[in-house]
Amino acid sequence: MTDNIDDIRRFFRNRFEYFIDEKDTADLRDGSSLTLRDLCRTLAFDTEPFSPRYDVDLRKLCGPEYLVWFRHERTYGDVTRLLARLFAAEDGLRPPVGGRWVQEVLNAARAADYWLRSEDETRAILAEFDLAAN
């Protein structure tokens, strides 16, 4: 993993843009093996302002609730919280997004860590729960 925060943010922006355009979190060939979820975990508390260059992408991500995003200057950490909520819905850990989901996420203190876990990590955790239940 790279220790350079500028590289981490660049990889995040690349993957974010690809996710918005392709609705896919597939690995990109940009010199990093980090996934979008890995980068979300790394940037979850990043207070660096997120570039307005991606406002159109955020409008797509937020859907009808996009104006909530523009009420304040937003950070990389804010974007990771939105993505974490979407990942939680995809993983079946939370209900599908709808209604006032953007406002709910942005007003929350932070995203729960399990929302950002990889599929393998989530499967391992669920397997541990199954073992403990038996």
Cα–Cα distance measured from residue 41 to residue 44, given in angstroms and rounded to the nearest whole number = 5
- Identify the pLDDT of residue 47: 94
- Identify the pLDDT of residue 35: 86
Cα–Cα distance measured from residue 86 to residue 103, given in angstroms and rounded to the nearest whole number = 14
- Using alpha carbons, select from 54, 89, 87 the residue that is nearest to residue 69: 54
- Identify the pLDDT of residue 122: 67
- Identify the pLDDT of residue 53: 94
Residues 6 or more apart whose CB falls under 8 angstroms from that of 65 comprise 100, 101, 102, 103
Number of H-type helices and E-type strands within the chain? 7, 0
- Identify the pLDDT of residue 99: 79
- Identify the pLDDT of residue 76: 95
Q: What is residue 44's DSSP assignment?
A: T
- Identify the pLDDT of residue 125: 67
> Are the CB atoms for 104 and 64 separated by under 8 Å?
no
- Identify the pLDDT of residue 134: 65
Cα–Cα distance measured from residue 33 to residue 26, given in angstroms and rounded to the nearest whole number = 11
Binned average pLDDT, 10 residues per bin, the chain of 134 residues = 82 92 71 84 92 94 90 92 88 81 81 59 70 68
48: which 2 tokens? 């660096």
> Are the CB atoms for 103 and 127 separated by under 8 Å?
no
- Identify the pLDDT of residue 83: 93
